[in-house]
Amino acid sequence: MTTLIPPHGSNTLKPLFIADESARLALEKEAANLPGVLISSATAGNAVMLAAGYFTPLDGFMTKADAISVGESFTTSSGLFWPTPVLNLVSDATELNVGDRIALKDPNVDGEPVLAVQHIASIEVFSDEEMNTLTEQVYGTTDSEHPGVAEFRAQGNIAIAGPVQVLNYSYFDKEFPDTFRTAVDIRESIREHGWKRVVAFQTRNPMHRAHEELCHMAMDRLNADGLVIHMLLGKLKPGDIPAPVRDAAIRKMIELYFPANSALVTGYGFDMLYAGPREALLHAVFRQNMGATHFIIGRDHAGVGDYYEPFEAQEIFDRIPKDALKIELFKADHTAYSKKLDKVVMMNEAPDHTKEDFVLLSGTAVREMLSEGKAPPVEFSRPEVAKILMEHYQAQS
């Protein structure tokens, strides 16, 4: 049997989904009589990631001390490397007590069904100053225009900590049955393929030629056996392309431009943080837990606006202890089509080029072309991919 990279901080994956049907039914029955707490979308995403094993080795939501420690030193109080706080934040906990068991209700599904049951280990309040400090540490800013900051601060300042048992995967497995995969599922697929060196690619956008070629480059240079495209399926900021459209475009690209059985198209249930460097570290934890040995990080990974420097998400990996993660990085420069060489290259590997030698288009320009029914140049986007995106944009207009 293929030996895979170990999960983060553990010899075995720790999915918190209650897989045993009789135990799950018993827990559902208990949950019906527990106090219900309507959680935020971000907390629901945390619960799904805990359920799916991506947050191994965590057993639930962090205490205030753990969150503050993560903000200050990238470790929990016990010394586990962890880059972002995993919290259940609420604005009111007057009816709750330490020692209670509570039913966490899902805000993203009609009828707000119970997503998980949590044992309350502590209920602690963050002061305004503590929230500001933590926000600055995680997001690099306290600007309320930053979509991640706005979402984080909207949840409340009371942390309900404690272990969770998760009953379902929210809407993700139902809305994306062909794409949503747990860390357990992906490890199993990697084993079935017999892959040893596995490259992971994170995306919240459709993949154009530059992304496609970047994956090919990484696989070739690392002598990798397989690629796992791992797309975010949760909430995005307004204007981002919906997951079903991205999924269709990426699948078409893989079908036509990658060898058979060389790539898996998968997704995970989490809301985007837009936390740039910190989120890049968190993404690396996910990918190690799902069995990837290498992770592509390019320009402005997980960024938004001008909040982060172009390669800050790569540089942060040089600031953490060498043994913090087992997964290795594939650091990529901005990639673009070279008119001189008639292929996609990393721009830093073409020192004799000027800007005019590349096919460079802004996201705004591409969106305008697509919404007008014009395909971007073939050097920028595969025609089959552009067709799917054009149909989406034209349906919006």
pLDDT surpasses 80 at 238: no
Asked if 7 contacts 289 with a C-beta cutoff of 8 angstroms, the reply is yes
What's the chain's average pLDDT? Answer: 95
What per-residue string of b and e applies to 63-76 under the rule 16 or more CB within 10 Å gives b? bbebbbbbbeebbb
202 forms beta bridges with 230
Joined together, the tokens standing for residue 309 give 């420097």
Residue 14 located in a structural domain: no
Q: Is residue 156 part of a domain?
A: yes
Closest CA to 223 of 200, 202, 197, 201: 197
Stretch 357-369: mean pLDDT: 84
- Let me know whether 327 and 282 are in one domain: yes
- The per-residue pLDDT for 1 is 64
Distance, in Å, from the CA atom of 377 to the CA atom of 374, rounded to the nearest integer, reads 9
Q: Is residue 7 part of a domain?
A: no
Q: Which secondary structure element, helix H or strand E, spans residue 115, and what is its range?
A: strand 114-119
Same domain (yes/no): 63, 182: no
| 8-51 tens-digit pLDDT | 999 999 999 999 999 999 999 999 999 999 999 999 999 999 99
Q: Is 204 a catalytic residue?
A: yes
What digits encode the pLDDT tens for the residues 298-346?
999 999 999 999 999 999 999 999 999 999 999 999 899 999 999 999 9
Lowest mean pLDDT among 134-143, 201-210, 225-234, 321-330: 201-210
* 185 shares its domain with 128: no
Percent of the chain beyond pLDDT 70? 99
Dihedral pair phi/psi, residue 344, rounded to 5°: -80, 135
**Coarse DSSP helix, strand, coil percentages of the chain, rounded to the nearest 5 percent:** 35, 20, 45
9 in a domain, yes or no? no
From 204, 251, 299, 367, the catalytic residue? 204
Mean pLDDT of 100-107: 98
Which pLDDT does position 323 carry in this prediction?
94
Residues 273-285 as b/e (b if ≥16 CB within 10 A, e otherwise) read bbbbbbbbbbbbb
146 and 186 together in one domain: no
Domain holding 101, by residue range, is 21-173
**In a shared domain, residues 159 and 181:** no
What do you get for the CA distance between the two ends of the chain, in Å? 52
| Per-residue pLDDT band at 283 (split at 50, 70, 90) | very high
The CA-based angle 279-283-288, given to 5 degrees, is: 150
Query: What domain count does the chain have?
Result: 2
Whole-number percent of the chain with pLDDT over 90: 89
- For residue 25, give the CATH number of its domain: 3.10.400.10
Does the pLDDT value for residue 104 go beyond 90?
A: yes
On the question of pLDDT at 362 being above 90, the answer is no
**What confidence tens digit (pLDDT) does each residue in 54-102 have?**
999 999 999 999 999 999 999 999 999 999 999 999 999 999 999 999 9
Specify the pLDDT at position 365. 83
- Exactly one of 24, 101, 197, 205 is catalytic; name it: 205
Among 267, 273, 317, 312, which residue's Cα sits nearest to residue 295?
A: 317
Domain termination residue (choose one: 143, 173, 203): 173
CATH number, domain containing residue 262: 3.40.50.620
In a domain, 267, yes or no: yes
What CA–CA distances, in Å, run from 23 to 20, 26, 29, 47, 175? 5, 5, 10, 18, 25
More confident residue, 306 or 397: 306
What is the per-residue DSSP string for 347-397? GGG-TT--GGGEE---HHHHHHHHHTTPPPPTTTS-HHHHHHHHHHHHHH-
Tell me, yes or no, whether 359 and 384 share the same domain.
yes
CA distances 86 to 40, 64, 168, Å, are 12, 10, 19
Average pLDDT over every residue of 139-155: 97
Q: Is residue 3 assigned to a domain? A: no
Residue at a domain's end among 173, 193, 222:
173
- Quick one: pLDDT band at residue 239, thresholds 50, 70, 90? confident
* Structural domain contains residue 331: yes
Asked whether the predicted pLDDT for residue 246 surpasses 70, the reply is yes
In DSSP notation, 231-242 reads EE-S---TTSPP
Are residues 165 and 27 in contact, defined by beta-carbon separation less than 8 angstroms? yes
Say yes or no: 136 and 82 in one domain: yes
Q: 63 and 162: one domain?
A: yes
Mean pLDDT of 241-250: 91
- Looking at the domain assignment, is residue 13 inside a domain? no
Using CB atoms within 10 Å of the CB of residue 3, give its burial: 0 to 12 exposed, 13 to 18 middle, 19+ buried. Answer: exposed
Residues 222 and 164 reside in one and the same domain = no
Amino acid at 302: A
The reported pTM is: 0.96
In this structure, the number of other CB atoms found within 10 A of the CB of residue 200 comes to 28
348 is catalytic: no
For residues 153 and 221, state if they share a domain: no
Start-end of H helices in 32-160? 41-51, 64-73, 128-139, 147-154
43 and 147 housed in the same domain: yes
Residue 397 has pLDDT above 80, yes or no: no
Is there a single domain that holds both residue 187 and residue 330? yes
Average pLDDT over residues 171-185: 96
Q: In the listed set 173, 200, 219, which residue is the last one of a domain according to the structure? A: 173
| Contact between 379 and 337 (Cβ < 8 Å) | yes
Contact 344, 353 (CB under 8 A): no
- In whole angstroms, give the CA distance from residue 214 to residue 205: 15
